[in-house]
Amino acid sequence: MSGIPERTKLKGIFTPNMVPLDNNGDINEAELRRYVDWLIEHGVHGLYPNGSSGEFTRFTPDERRRIIQIVCDQTAGRVPVLAGAAEANVKETIKACEIYHEYGARAVAIVSPFYYKLSPESVYAYFKEIALHTPIDITLYNIPMFASPIDVPTVERLIEFEKICAIKDSSGDMTFMIRLIGRIRPKRPDFSFLCGWEAALVPMLVMGCDGGTNALSGVVPEFMRSLYDLTVTGQLDEARALQFRLMELFDQVLYSADFPEGLRAAVELRGFAMGPSRQPLSDSQRIDREALQRVLQCIISDFGYVETPAEGCPPRNGLVTGAGATGQQVTADRVTRITEGVIKKLREQGVV
């Protein structure tokens, strides 16, 4: 077991870390251990293996267990581990909960059933069954683009189970999270709210989220830690400036290639051998990935974490953020409006 107290509230920046692979497509254990050490040394508050960014669906059940075992062992109690435990059915998910508890994970994150579109009543029944039989705390993982959504009334019902201790929301829907915090926190002050969408991180922290599970913390952990620290200490102008800068990297990583290939390319720029994806790439995708990596190097070098490409970087046309594959540009003005709107609401309520 790790040295992390079981009831420590989940808070801060958790990294949904990728898994380095060798040339045969197998888990590169030595590189994964090196990556874990680097993330902790660069300030993340916790690790979140077997998440979406960790490509959990592309590993076998035995491989998923081995990934958690490696991460828990290498972490050695320095930070909490939030282990992705989503399996295809209740029986296997509960078994994963038992195993990850033995490995020393602080809690597990579980998506609602995927593939089949279920009613809120079925989602409730699924998590109730797990909550009644798990030895480890559960974080609900709301990602409605890939799994049955977990709505506010369902969360209100589920918090009666002590083992359900948190929710990670990757919907990007700030209204949903604001409603959720307002309804749940008075009833369960110990319950954690984690934002899984970088584009909304500062506003969500201001509104009361306890932290984030953010893929980009696997690329620029020191940057994400600074953004978190500035926000929770009330240095909102400085935090907002970092949120602006984060958007360019976010758009390129998320929208410029099939996820998580942009993330894999970005992590490699920080000095890690991530290996080839288990998802085969076409020749044109490989060429596009090389071009994307050059763009990402320009952005990350502007943060000061890698060298500028030898051929230099093109001008950014004065934009704080870039354009994704959707062709939409997220400008500084838009981020400012979102953040100022949240702060205004809090001031009206006498919170800040």
Whole-structure pTM value = 0.86
Angstrom distance (rounded) from CA 333 to CA 152: 30
Quick one: average pLDDT of 330-351?
Answer: 46
Residue 328 has pLDDT above 60, yes or no: no
Residue 187 has pLDDT above 80, yes or no: yes
The half-sphere exposure of 253 on its side-chain side, counting CA atoms within 13 A, is 28
Give the model's pLDDT for residue 126: 96
Angstrom distance (rounded) from CA 198 to CA 158: 26
1 within some domain: no
Please name which of 289, 214, 287 lies closest in space to residue 247, comparing C-alpha atoms: 214
pLDDT digits (tens, 9 = 90+) for 47-79: 999 998 888 989 999 999 999 999 999 999 999
Please name which of 244, 161, 148, 231 lies closest in space to residue 195, comparing C-alpha atoms: 231
Give the model's pLDDT for residue 2: 43
Which one has a higher pLDDT value, 351 or 133? 133
Crossing angle of the two packed helices 90-103 and 120-133, in degrees rounded to 10: 40
User: Domain range for residue 238?
Assistant: 12-348
Give the model's pLDDT for residue 256: 81
Strands in the chain per DSSP E? 12-15, 46-47, 82-84, 107-111, 137-142, 164-169, 192-195, 211-213
65 within some domain: yes
64 within some domain: yes
Residue 146 has pLDDT above 80, yes or no: yes
4 within some domain: no
Quick one: average pLDDT of 243-261?
Answer: 88
pLDDT digits (tens, 9 = 90+) for 78-104: 999 999 998 889 999 999 999 999 999
5 within some domain: no
pLDDT digits (tens, 9 = 90+) for 267-287: 999 999 999 888 887 877 776
Residue 184 has pLDDT above 90, yes or no: yes
Number of compact structural domains in the chain: 1
Give the model's pLDDT for residue 290: 81
Residue 322 has pLDDT above 60, yes or no: no
Quick one: average pLDDT of 317-345?
Answer: 41
3 within some domain: no
191 within some domain: yes
Q: Which of 84-93, 253-262, 266-275, 325-334 has the lowest mean pLDDT?
A: 325-334
- What SS3 state is found at 169? strand
Strands in 147-262 per DSSP E? 164-169, 192-195, 211-213
Q: What is the CATH number of the domain that holds 206?
A: 3.20.20.70
Give the model's pLDDT for residue 316: 60
158 within some domain: yes
